[in-house]
């Protein structure tokens, strides 16, 4: 028996404890509530030691120690589950068995250095626990110490063993116009489930995210762990239950065959995994992710000023651009309180539909005879910022660029080039292509006072190939490099990550962007749930949320302006409509909603978010509470008709039990629900109530009719 030791990382609320035993790969003993400082290593390991098997009744248990889950499970130790590394040198060195050589201990970080002298591989496992948000950040780095290349098929960024009590998982599935849909998976049997994204971008269909927790975990209860891979390319997220009941989660890049050929002396870094732990269900996880995103991940300049109200021209005019018409649209937008005008697709090349011109980033002089300058000047004279849509990673086969450089797209020589939305993807892994794209963007930003880029990416990568080899990974890295270069050259320009809605939303891209476009679906009934799903990971200030026109361009549904505006309020609000199409009454109303957004955006974009349930899945509640507890804003929403006319009182989480709050039912009250208020006089001047009453008893508002949202403001007195 070699000596045992513990290493640990602590925050004010949590501890992460790993056991070290000689040269063995470290094992996770505990990640959860903060433990005392006087832990006895032997005692903790003793408490948690797994029972051994007896093959014959009454016989003494077998002496063999079953191969247990470690921080890097491997075939070389006779482990039969999912290994953290799959790779070989053309079949050799496929089963690794790393030995721990060194542990570097930082104040909030641990780095383990491991070596496999037989397979001639080195490995670094890096872990850091953020003391502010309690978030764990981890990645792996593999080093080829052999003299022949090593082919990596799978390298987990993190392999996290999970408590045996974790019996359910939740992932975020989706499709175009239906992103961030939570799906539950039982973990009752031996086996494994995985979600793979092979789209070459994060994708609509599977966010690189999984939550695992105790049976029945919900918004406010249950121990849960949430894991997210900060990566905008192919990914794989898996949860495995082994035959002995032990379980693990692994996240990493999904690799194409032969995609990583590690040369002699070469290293391969995985993306970072971000993991949150909570004993307060999903809302507790979200608060950890949001806190980390705000304090560490998101660009600082996002917080330098309030998130401006947008108008985006896409659904107002599509490709039908006329500069004088757009000036009038801008005027109408400014008049209702809009602060940033974003000129969407249709301004360049000969872009009269989606079938041409990507790559030709010169202004279309048929539509803008004097270039973009007059429109930009007009927008700025109205007191608004100017933003511009681009899709710089793309090329249309019908474009001048393609005529000049057909070889510049990702393709396989001699094979078809399958288009999506009539477009192909530029091969950013070629330095001349990246250079050209940078020059195009740089030129636009130098030529005009552009404050904002809506950076789109409307298709999946197929084939993700460059020079005959798989290049999905290299393309993702080249995209990051391009974006970083643009940001460094133009540090004042804000960037929105858009990909046919929310197909490129993850912590990788969001460390380089101020906003994401959550979905092309602006139907508020569906958008409410899409934004709720996105808020699992992201704080409201980066969730682009627009008031669309009716009937909805995506679903044909007609909803009230109040319902649409109050949905967009819990995000970064904008308009996705032509304000000139609104009636006089609607114009007056939208002004009020925009004023409400401006009144509350500081609170919404800095406070802590608590989602809550209202008794049936068609009713949704959320509250944002100021960090100092001084105020809060509640959104009570109903999507479709309630099963009963007496909807249950909404019990409000997150308030200080002992504090008193003055209530204000924010106007305009939603019709027809307001006409069902039993006691409108009461709600015109409600008394102050304690946080305890509001959370234990709650408030009851008429919430039986479909498509109703109430807003309630609470001010501590």
Applying CB under 6 A, the residues found at the interface with ligand GLA are: 314, 344-345, 389, 456, 458, 498, 500-501, 517, 520
Interior angle at CA 591, CA 593 and CA 673, nearest 5? 40
CB of 520 to ligand GLA, least distance (A): 5
CB of 319 to ligand GLA, least distance (A): 8
Cis status, amide bond into 641, omega within 30 of 0:
no
Cα separation, 332 vs 64, in Å, equals 77
Burial, 630: exposed, middle or buried (Cβ in 10 Å; 0-12, 13-18, 19+)? middle
**Residues, the chain:** 717
Query: Two tokens at 677?
Result: 């208020």
Query: Two tokens at 467?
Result: 């020079």
**Which of 176, 193 has the CB closer to ligand GLA?**
176
How far, rounded to the nearest angstrom, does the alpha carbon of residue 593 sit from its chain's CA centroid?
27
Marked catalytic residue, from 456, 460, 506, 523: 456
CB of 530 to ligand GLA, least distance (A): 13
3-class SS of residue 229: strand
Marked catalytic residue, from 134, 345, 360, 520: 520
CB of 325 to ligand GLA, least distance (A): 18
CB of 456 to ligand GLA, least distance (A): 5
**Which of 327, 553 has the CB closer to ligand GLA?**
553
What is the number of alpha carbons within 13 Å of residue 374 lying toward its C-beta?
14
CB of 554 to ligand GLA, least distance (A): 11
**Which of 115, 456 has the CB closer to ligand GLA?**
456
Query: Two tokens at 130?
Result: 């953020």
Residue 517's contacts (CB-CB under 8 Å, 6 or more residues apart) are 454, 496, 497, 498, 499, 501, 502, 544
Secondary element (H or E) of residue 377: helix 373-381
Contact 121, 144 (CB under 8 A): yes
Contact 544, 570 (CB under 8 A): no
Q: What is the DSSP letter of 645?
A: S
Which has the closest alpha carbon to 502: 158, 181, 40, 210? 181
**Which of 307, 459 has the CB closer to ligand GLA?**
459
543 phi, psi to nearest 5 deg? -90, 100
Query: Two tokens at 462?
Result: 């197929």
**Which of 199, 389 has the CB closer to ligand GLA?**
389
**Which of 109, 420 has the CB closer to ligand GLA?**
420
Q: What is the DSSP letter of 607?
A: S
CB of 389 to ligand GLA, least distance (A): 5
Contact 353, 396 (CB under 8 A): no
5 is catalytic: no
**Which of 362, 420 has the CB closer to ligand GLA?**
420
Cα separation, 211 vs 536, in Å, equals 10
Q: What is the DSSP letter of 309?
A: P
**Which of 81, 571 has the CB closer to ligand GLA?**
571
How far, rounded to the nearest angstrom, does the alpha carbon of residue 361 sit from its chain's CA centroid?
29
Alpha helices (H) in 448-580, listed in sequence order: 472-489, 524-534, 561-569
CB of 549 to ligand GLA, least distance (A): 14
CB of 360 to ligand GLA, least distance (A): 15
218 is catalytic: no
Q: Which residue is nearest to ligand GLA (CB)?
A: 345
**Which of 471, 503 has the CB closer to ligand GLA?**
503
Q: Which residues are catalytic?
A: 456, 520
């Amino acid at each position: 028996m070699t000596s045992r030791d513990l290493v640990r990382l602590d925050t004010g609320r949590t501890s992460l404890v790993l056991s070290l035993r000689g040269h063995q790969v470290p094992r996770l003993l505990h990640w959860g509530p903060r433990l005392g400082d006087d832990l006895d290593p032997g005692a903790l390991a003793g408490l948690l030691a797994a029972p051994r098997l007896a093959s014959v009744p009454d016989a003494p248990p077998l002496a063999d120690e079953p191969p247990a889950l470690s921080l890097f499970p491997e075939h070389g130790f006779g482990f039969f589950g999912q290994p953290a590394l799959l790779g070989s040198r053309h079949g050799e060195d496929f089963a690794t068995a790393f030995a721990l050589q060194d542990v570097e201990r930082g104040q909030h970080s641990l780095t383990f250095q491991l070596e496999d002298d037989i397979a001639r591989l080195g490995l670094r496992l890096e872990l850091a626990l953020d003391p502010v948000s309690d978030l764990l950040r981890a990645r792996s780095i593999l080093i080829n110490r052999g003299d022949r290349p090593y082919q990596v098929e799978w390298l987990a960024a993190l392999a996290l063993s999970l408590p045996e009590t974790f019996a359910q998982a939740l992932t975020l599935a989706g499709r175009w116009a239906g992103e961030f849909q939570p799906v539950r998976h039982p973990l009752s049997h031996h086996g494994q489930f995985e979600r793979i994204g092979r789209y070459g971008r994060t994708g609509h269909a599977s966010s690189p995210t999984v939550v695992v927790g105790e049976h029945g975990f919900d918004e406010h209860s249950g121990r849960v762990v949430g894991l997210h891979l900060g990566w905008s390319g192919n990914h794989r997220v898996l949860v495995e239950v082994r035959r002995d009941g032990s379980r693990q989660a692994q996240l990493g890049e999904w690799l194409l065959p032969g995609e990583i050929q590690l040369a002699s002396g070469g290293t391969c870094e995985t993306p970072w995994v971000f993991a949150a732990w909570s004993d307060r269900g999903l809302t507790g996880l979200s608060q950890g992710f949001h806190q980390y995103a705000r304090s560490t991940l998101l660009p600082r300049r996002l917080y330098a000023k309030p998130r401006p109200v947008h108008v985006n021209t896409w659904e107002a005019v599509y490709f039908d651009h006329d500069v004088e018409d757009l000036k009038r649209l801008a005027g109408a937008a400014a008049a209702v309180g809009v602060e940033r005008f974003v000129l969407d697709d249709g301004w360049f090349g000969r872009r009269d539909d989606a079938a041409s011109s990507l790559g030709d980033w010169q202004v279309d002089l048929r539509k803008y005879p004097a270039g973009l300058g007059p429109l930009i000047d007009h927008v700025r004279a109205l007191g608004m910022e100017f933003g511009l849509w681009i899709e710089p990673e793309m090329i249309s086969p019908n474009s001048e660029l393609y005529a000049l450089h057909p070889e510049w797209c990702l393709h396989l020589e001699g094979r078809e080039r399958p288009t999506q939305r009539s477009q192909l993807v530029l091969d950013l892994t070629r330095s001349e292509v990246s250079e050209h794209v940078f020059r195009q963007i740089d030129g636009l930003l130098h030529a005009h006072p552009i404050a904002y880029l809506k950076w789109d990416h409307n298709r999946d990568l197929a084939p993700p190939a460059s020079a005959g080899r798989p290049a999905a990974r290299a393309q993702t890295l080249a995209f990051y490099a391009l974006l970083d270069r643009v940001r460094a050259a133009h540090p004042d320009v804000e960037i929105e990550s858009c990909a046919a809605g929310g197909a490129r939303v993850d912590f990788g891209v969001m460390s380089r962007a101020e906003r994401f476009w959550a979905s092309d679906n602006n139907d508020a009934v569906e958008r409410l749930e899409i934004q709720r799903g996105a808020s699992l990971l992201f704080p409201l200030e980066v969730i682009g949320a627009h008031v669309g026109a009716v009937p909805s361009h995506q679903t044909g549904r007609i909803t009230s302006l109040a319902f649409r505006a109050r949905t967009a309020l819990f995000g970064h609000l904008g308009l996705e409509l032509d304000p000139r199409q609104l009636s006089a009454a609607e114009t007056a109303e939208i002004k009020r909603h925009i004023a409400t957004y401006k009144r509350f955006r500081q609170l919404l974009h800095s406070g802590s978010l608590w989602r809550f349930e209202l008794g049936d899945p068609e009713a949704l509640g959320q509250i944002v509470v100021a960090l100092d507890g001084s105020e809060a804003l509640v959104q009570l929403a109903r999507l479709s008709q309630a099963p009963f006319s007496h909807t249950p009182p909404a019990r409000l989480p997150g308030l200080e039990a002992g504090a008193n709050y003055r209530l204000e039912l924010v106007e305009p009250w939603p019709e027809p629900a307001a006409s069902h208020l039993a006691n409108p006089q009461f709600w015109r001047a409600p008394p102050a109530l304690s946080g305890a009453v509001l959370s234990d008893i709650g408030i009851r508002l008429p919430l039986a009719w479909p498509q109703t949202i109430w807003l309630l403001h609470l001010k501590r007195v």
